[in-house]
Amino acid sequence: MPDEIEMLYPTTASAAAAAPAGLTGDDLLALYAPADRGTPHLRVNFIESLDGSATLEGRSGGLGRPADKLVFDTLRGVADVVLVGAGTARAEGYGALTVAPRFDGWRRDAGLSPQPAMALVSGRLDFDPTSDLFAKAATKPLVFTARSAPQQARDRLSDVATIVDAGDTVVDAAVVVHELTSRGLTQVLCEGGPSFFGDLIAADLVDELCLSMSPVLEGGKGSRVATARAAASMPRGLRLAHLLKSGSLLLTRWVREEQPA
């Protein structure tokens, strides 16, 4: 049986009242649901080990715990689109994007499609078009690529994906985010990978980071949650919005300093 999820910060009367029984699924929805869906918002979700690794034996899933999966599902459940880099999609074995059935009613009441859109980032378009990621998708995934991507790869994917050029030789993170929001996909959930997260940081596009800290020491072989191809113009300050605990797993949520929790 998974450990209960407790609120450690902020300490409020409602959180204290919920503490004996732990936070429910509805409590998590209230914590993570956007207050204003019309305002574009880019949320990034990662898990890391105590010594700073984003993976264990090559996959982030090895660091996870049941509570982290509940939050992961909740973040997907309230998103308009899930954005992920090609390397992460392959390493983590992404299939067709679905949200847990318990979010069906909530998404319907919020006027959302049954499933979030899927958006992928790949400079070379080296995907298998017959994989479940495409073949079983509820709607065609968006694939952001560079104009230099091979035409043969474009042709292979053209029937199963909507291909969008977002840069000449590398994918421009700012163009990706602009293209998503211009399609009405304002609530963006990025699930990695580290290189694309680094690009988002460099372009100062990150509004929120949900970071789970797994109570393990990985040993130094895994990558950080962000790796930079370009330096950020200046450090981006974030403010702690809440801190949850499940056993020894910590679940944090950080937001841009100028915006409310």
CA dihedral 67, 71, 73, 74 (to 10 degrees): 140
Q: Where are the alpha helices (DSSP H) in 19-170?
A: 25-32, 66-77, 86-91, 104-109, 132-135, 151-157
Q: What is the pLDDT of residue 136?
A: 95
Task: Give the C-alpha distances (Å, rounded to integers) separating 97 from 54, 165, 259.
Answer: 22, 22, 30
Q: What does the pLDDT look like over 195-221, one tens digit per residue?
A: 999 999 999 999 999 999 999 999 988
Cβ neighbours of 147 (radius 10 Å): 9
Give mean pLDDT, residues 171-199.
Answer: 96
* Residues of the chain above pLDDT 70, percent: 92
- For 210, phi then psi, to 5°, come to -100, 110
Q: What does the pLDDT look like over 223-261, one tens digit per residue?
A: 899 988 776 667 889 999 999 999 999 999 999 987 555
